[in-house]
Amino acid sequence: MSELDEIQQLRHDLELHNYNYYVRSNPTISDQEFDRLMHRLQELESRHPEAYDAASPTQRVGSDLTREFQHVRHRYPMLSLANTYSESEIRDWYERVSRGLGGEAFDVVCELKFDGTSISLWYDDGLLTRAVTRGDGQQGDDITANARTIRSIPLRLHGNYPERLEMRGEVLMPWSVFEQLNAQRAEQEEPLFANPRNATSGSIKQQDPAVVASRQLDSYLYYVLGDTLPCDTHYDNLLAARQWGFKISEHIRCCHSIEEVMAYIDYWDTERKNLPVATDGIVLKVNSLRQQEELGLTAKSPRWAIAYKFQAERALTRLNSVSFQVGRTGAITPVANLDAVQLSGTTVKRASLHNADIIRQLDLHIGDMVYVEKGGEIIPKITGVDVEARSFMMGAEVGFITRCPECGTELIRYDGEAAHYCPNDSGCPPQQIGKMEHFVSRRAMNIDGLGSETITMMYHAGMLHNIADIYELTVPSMARMERLGAKSAHNIRKAIEQSVQVPFERVLYAIGIRFVGETTARQLARAMRSMDAIRNASQEQLAAIDGIGQKIAQSICEYFRQVANCEIVDRLKAYGLQMETHAETAVASDRLAGKNIVVSGVFHSHSRDEYKQMIEQHGGKNTGSVTSKTDFILAGDNMGPAKLEKAKTLGISIISEEDFLLMIGQQ
């Protein structure tokens, strides 16, 4: 086969694998095999620029930055839908449609109403030429480069598609991705996304398509437009679109009566909670395109369709007080204390009030009856006040504090940020205690035995003021404390001594520089190699490192500008903590190259995280679950029975801690 033929073959195969993976969720080859084929195609394409094709699977992540989005006029305006929350209004709509059609029989297609960002995709001769946001319905933003990174959006269609076609649908972030993204943002101390919808619209409008690609967005398409559609019903056109390669929900139903429609609504009202993506209602559409035309449009929305929105679960309860909490970074979080109330299966006593702006918008008063909602959010929030329930003896208006509730320092608000901060980071107790809790945590210095309570106790007893003081703790000084026996004191001291072995990247994470999470610390350690180099670097030098933006760079410089922080770092260095990347913490060998290893159980010589790190240092890959691709399992005591069973059936070897250390030459 010539290289040009091989390019064609690979493009075809990879497209099919993409489709199987992202649209059908049913991959037929392993990820490694997929990557291998993709690399081969990239290599061949770079050798044959004459074979360039914008629809090649290699073109999903463009490398060029789109500075600004172009406005594009929609070929057909993007209308919205009439909304209702009531089943009786659905029955009214059904009656209206029947009357509008002069009593003629009609079918209704029921669909889930996906809660993401709507998108319009243009295909000419089967190729994706444009992706446009809804915008104002007449004009939208051209986000083609970003849409190309969404794997379930076909770049090229298959089969018998119309020459010119427009496909409308929703771009979504699955719950699992949303939760992962927020966990990562929490670690980086970036503001969390309130729900997957906000996360989706925030992602799709990113200027850098590589960032969009990292957000793992998905799509469901629900509306085919064009002058030459293959079928004369909406339902059949959707089925055809599925054949062309689009992801069409499996849950669309063609109903013949209002009873069937109501049964669909009732079923999904509860069942939607088990879906991998967020939905906020049901969309009903008259099936026949001829009948759609006959019914026509109003100024804003078609008469042939309506949305039934699910009632957000909410409860009414009394606001008793508002407290203000100070976090490790000094951020102040207002929290509403409520009369306990049941909400979607859990008891809610507290709700986040987010920030001063939100409190002001709600016009809250103590004693108010407030609505609490969970909806798509993780933490319940107050969405409104039942003003009617206010008596003339209204409680005090809820204001925001101006001084830190813990140390009395005047609060500040950074430009462009909604939160208030206590700037006294070296003297404010919860900030001090929070920093120490972070420092000793498992993923940081892993000083076992020094829990929250003990740190708080030692702080108030004047034994600990900052993270460096931890290394001054002695067995006699600790053993003198109430509720802390000699044995615990010994164990803590031992853990403190062992922590000087913790690799530099984790020390960098542990000292708690704002915005420097685990990933950032690793990138910084790899690029700069020592604390001194980071301390002496300029903001520009830091910002030039992969993965470090201006905001992080500025925060690092700010940290080292403070004398108190430099003193702490100097003391840590004097206690013997790792202040540079050692050869053995970088790549140590390739003894485990290409091996997929699962770590399970409890270990003696090193922690589980350390083993995971060793695997990477020796070129292996640590994977979460046992599959046929697993090469071996590094097993400690009490390995999970399910994993053991699976390993047996798949014939995967189980390696002990000692054998593993031998394997990597550490024993």
Residues in contact with ligand IVH by CB under 6 A are 79-81, 111, 113-114, 118, 170, 222-223, 283, 302, 305, 307
Provide, rounded to whole angstroms, the least separation between the CB of residue 294 and ligand IVH: 16
Whose Cβ is closer to ligand IVH: residue 222's or residue 308's? Answer: 222
Instruction: Tell me the C-alpha distance between 376 and 68, whole Å.
Output: 30
Instruction: Tell me the C-alpha distance between 430 and 331, whole Å.
Output: 11
Query: What values do phi and psi take at 663, rounded to 5?
Result: -55, -40
Burial environment of residue 644 by CB neighbours within 10 A (0 to 12, 13 to 18, 19 or more): middle
Provide, rounded to whole angstroms, the least separation between the CB of residue 26 and ligand IVH: 23
Give the single-character DSSP code of 426: T
Whose Cβ is closer to ligand IVH: residue 37's or residue 295's? Answer: 295
Provide, rounded to whole angstroms, the least separation between the CB of residue 381 and ligand IVH: 23
Instruction: Tell me the C-alpha distance between 291 and 108, whole Å.
Output: 11
Query: Which residues neighbour 243 within 8 Å (Cβ) at sequence distance 6 or greater?
Result: 158, 159, 160
Q: Within 10 A of 462 (CB to CB), how many other CB atoms are there?
A: 8
Whose Cβ is closer to ligand IVH: residue 305's or residue 597's? Answer: 305
Distances from the Cα of 126 to the Cα of 9, 151, 186, angstroms:
18, 17, 42
Whose Cβ is closer to ligand IVH: residue 81's or residue 326's? Answer: 81
Query: What values do phi and psi take at 620, rounded to 5?
Result: -90, 180
Hey, is 33 helix, strand or coil? helix
* Torsion angle, alpha carbons of 522, 527, 528, 529, to 10: 70
Query: Which residues neighbour 34 within 8 Å (Cβ) at sequence distance 6 or greater?
Result: 14, 17, 21, 27
Whose Cβ is closer to ligand IVH: residue 222's or residue 459's? Answer: 222
First to last CA, the chain: 50
Provide, rounded to whole angstroms, the least separation between the CB of residue 594 and ligand IVH: 44
Only one residue has tokens 């685990």, namely 518
Locate all alpha helices (DSSP H) within 374-451, ordered by sequence. Answer: 429-440
Provide, rounded to whole angstroms, the least separation between the CB of residue 131 and ligand IVH: 14
Whose Cβ is closer to ligand IVH: residue 222's or residue 632's? Answer: 222
Provide, rounded to whole angstroms, the least separation between the CB of residue 305 and ligand IVH: 5
Instruction: Tell me the C-alpha distance between 534 and 541, whole Å.
Output: 9
Whose Cβ is closer to ligand IVH: residue 307's or residue 652's? Answer: 307
205 is catalytic: no
Instruction: Tell me the C-alpha distance between 186 and 144, whole Å.
Output: 30
Burial environment of residue 56 by CB neighbours within 10 A (0 to 12, 13 to 18, 19 or more): buried
Which of these is catalytic: 113, 247, 374, 381? Answer: 113
Whose Cβ is closer to ligand IVH: residue 114's or residue 421's? Answer: 114
Q: Within 10 A of 192 (CB to CB), how many other CB atoms are there?
A: 16
Query: Which residues neighbour 663 within 8 Å (Cβ) at sequence distance 6 or greater?
Result: 591, 592, 655
The residue of the chain with the least Cβ separation from ligand IVH equals 118
Question: What is the Cα 99 distance to its own chain's centre?
Answer: 47
Instruction: Tell me the C-alpha distance between 620 and 593, whole Å.
Output: 5
Provide, rounded to whole angstroms, the least separation between the CB of residue 134 and ligand IVH: 6
Provide, rounded to whole angstroms, the least separation between the CB of residue 348 and ligand IVH: 29
Provide, rounded to whole angstroms, the least separation between the CB of residue 118 and ligand IVH: 3
Instruction: Tell me the C-alpha distance between 254 and 105, whole Å.
Output: 13
User: 231-253 burial by CB neighbour count: b if 16+ within 10 A, else e?
Assistant: eebbbbbbebbbebbbbbbebbe
Whose Cβ is closer to ligand IVH: residue 302's or residue 503's? Answer: 302
Whose Cβ is closer to ligand IVH: residue 261's or residue 364's? Answer: 261
Radius of gyration, alpha carbons of the chain: 29
List residues with catalytic annotation: 113
